[in-house]
Chain A
């Protein structure tokens, strides 16, 4: 007899409003359905009421984890629409933040995946290591998340050479820890028993369902916007697209952990090669009438933005498609025939992000100044710890 097991909309698997309906016989999953739409926030409509330079701050809040991906994809779309040139130095800064974001997102996922199969020690350790990346991001941009670096035509703020040099030792410890995590996870026989051969997504299915990002790369489909349609400075860096042929959950874990190491390598190259002088903003005057698309390889896969302009100072249409939206259908291939116990880790193995897929309400300013001061104090402490100077903002605040 078939029964329905609801996972969500309120479920401790992932503390987000997801809703999977598993049709099961005994413990075997015979069908799966995904319902979305619990978290619609009207971001696209809000975006039409903002000027081109304001929208990055809005789309940054689409997702707390990909808070660089969405503004980047949006800026690429606007630059495509208006044929706007971006200075070399700005491209380097954009790519640097993008790769650091990838590290933090993949470490976050590795921890969560551990939690989903009851391995809370991996959860805590991975998140502890992730703190180092967040510290790095705070050191370079002033924020742990929502970095507010992007604008059409360049970046908002400079990153000083001292800050970049201060990041090097942290990157080295990060590499050691990531390698340790990689070895610890792949050497664990019990983890292997839980992950190997579970939720196999064959290469043909990955292509047929339009899987993106690590989900497709773990199935042997080397789809990566960074390599296929290079933006930023990816064509100048020495890196490779990580793929695995197995298509099971273990392969998806492996791809993400190896990409973390690859991103650390890229970050170090960027610090080496970034030009010290040069403008960071081409200061575009206006966006002519027309339309543009932006493809960005977010940690979870290709993030797609479409912007239409009528020559005024705001977009008339702005469409966002998050990678998770494209990865949902793969469940039809991966979950069937597995047990409920395995279905949970399979559902989580595409690294679904509901707030990306569905968008939430816009938050109003918090007038509590204390929190802001505390946050600025922490940034200053961090800079002192790494022996780098105060940021221009703090110098202004001190006066």
Chain B
């Protein structure tokens, strides 16, 4: 029992798997971006080298900041994503699921953004405080449409267990497809990718909340980003696209995951960065009504019993 728990948490689908898959996903992001931009792109293990390098460097803790929250904040992101990854993979792979796990995952997915906010606020740097401010504003923007879209999916599939979502792809209906589009845009923002990378905005805030971080603590943030690259698209695949199972189903699942990832990369590389006020308007007046329509359609479809609505 204990042995299998340790295996779950540290090997598969825990730390080792999430990290390895995250490194692969990060390489895919960098390689595909490079191909779009007529560059060569990095070798396969470059993301791993980057992380390894950061863990060999010194930690510098800024004077005048809040020391404890500065140190603890970077741990929140990887911890939340690790748990979310275990729940997601197990519910797909083994079919082990519990009532309300989709809501638990939604809460866990807030942790990376929160850790960036807390970390940025505790450095005492005006640029990172501004970045944290923007991250908070971005969270307020995308959480509403994301929750609406996921609620539409819950209504559509008829249960609060992740294992139920995998039975039939939700996106194979009008409401599911609309919800998927809205959720995809929210995931783009949650990953901190262009056009929604306002908090880190290199050319404006020089990395924003992470500006004072260095060494292993910065490495933890990078690990959190890697894991998010696996977990967030996987969440979309599970909730909207029917997830994956064992055997050939795993391969099919991997293809669906890669397609979602490449879609995200394409959006990332064909847009400039939006201002925070534009991002807020985009999510509240664009994505949120879309998700709301999806929810209404799902409820109506459920009441009158038509599957494809």
CB contacts (< 8 Å) of A319 on chain B: these are none
Q: B202–A5 contact, CB under 8 A? A: no
Q: B273–A118 contact, CB under 8 A? A: yes
Q: A12–B127 contact, CB under 8 A? A: no
A-B contact number at CB 8 A: 73
CA distance A48 to B202 in the complex (A): 42
At the interface, yes or no: A386 with Cβ under 8 Å from chain B?
no
User: Among the listed A124, A125, A128, A341, which residue makes an inter-chain contact with B198, where contact means beta carbons less than 8 Å apart?
Assistant: A341
User: Among the listed A4, A114, A124, A340, which residue makes an inter-chain contact with B272, where contact means beta carbons less than 8 Å apart?
Assistant: A114
Q: B272–A119 contact, CB under 8 A? A: yes
Known: A5-B130, A121-B36. A190 touches B203 (CB 8 A): no
Q: B276–A341 contact, CB under 8 A? A: yes
Q: Which residue, of B201, B204, B270, B274, has the highest number of chain A Cβ atoms within 10 A?
A: B204
CA distance A128 to B273 in the complex (A): 22
* A348 and chain B: residue at smallest CB distance: B203
B77 to chain A, nearest CB (A): 22
**B265-280 vs A: 1/0 string, CB under 8 Å?**
0000111111111100
At the interface, yes or no: A117 with Cβ under 8 Å from chain B?
yes
User: Among the listed A27, A117, A120, A342, which residue makes an inter-chain contact with B37, where contact means beta carbons less than 8 Å apart?
Assistant: A120
At the interface, yes or no: A384 with Cβ under 8 Å from chain B?
no
At the interface, yes or no: B63 with Cβ under 8 Å from chain A?
no
CA distance A12 to B127 in the complex (A): 13
**Which parts of A108-125 form the interface with B (CB within 8 Å)?**
114-125
Interface size on A, as a range, is 20 to 34
**B193-213 vs A: 1/0 string, CB under 8 Å?**
011011001111110000000
CB contacts (< 8 Å) of A124 on chain B: these are 37-39
CA distance A123 to B204 in the complex (A): 17
Known: A3-B126, A128-B38. A118 touches B203 (CB 8 A): yes
Q: A115–B274 contact, CB under 8 A? A: no
B62 to chain A, nearest CB (A): 16
Q: A341–B36 contact, CB under 8 A? A: no
CA distance A13 to B195 in the complex (A): 17
At the interface, yes or no: A143 with Cβ under 8 Å from chain B?
no
Q: A13–B130 contact, CB under 8 A? A: no
Q: B273–A117 contact, CB under 8 A? A: yes
User: Among the listed B126, B195, B205, B269, which residue makes an inter-chain contact with A120, where contact means beta carbons less than 8 Å apart?
Assistant: B269
At the interface, yes or no: A191 with Cβ under 8 Å from chain B?
yes
Known: A121-B36, A124-B37, A125-B37. A342 touches B195 (CB 8 A): no
User: Among the listed B39, B127, B194, B276, which residue makes an inter-chain contact with A118, where contact means beta carbons less than 8 Å apart?
Assistant: B194
* A341 and chain B: residue at smallest CB distance: B275
Q: B276–A12 contact, CB under 8 A? A: no
Q: A190–B272 contact, CB under 8 A? A: yes
CA distance A120 to B270 in the complex (A): 9
CB contacts (< 8 Å) of B195 on chain A: these are 118, 190
**B13-36 vs A: 1/0 string, CB under 8 Å?**
000000000000000000001001
Q: A115–B203 contact, CB under 8 A? A: yes
* A113 and chain B: residue at smallest CB distance: B272
CB contacts (< 8 Å) of B39 on chain A: these are 124
**B46-66 vs A: 1/0 string, CB under 8 Å?**
000000000000000000000
**B224-237 vs A: 1/0 string, CB under 8 Å?**
00000000000000
Which 9 pairs across A and B sit closest by C-beta, in order of nearness?
A118-B273, A124-B37, A119-B272, A117-B272, A341-B275, A13-B203, A121-B269, A344-B204, A118-B194
Seen from chain A, the residues whose Cβ lies within 8 Å of a Cβ on chain B are 3-5, 11-13, 27, 114-125, 128, 188, 190-191, 193-194, 339-342, 344
Q: List 13 A-B contacts (CB under 8 A).
A: A27-B276, A117-B272, A119-B194, A120-B37, A123-B37, A193-B278, A194-B278, A340-B130, A340-B204, A341-B198, A341-B276, A342-B275, A344-B204
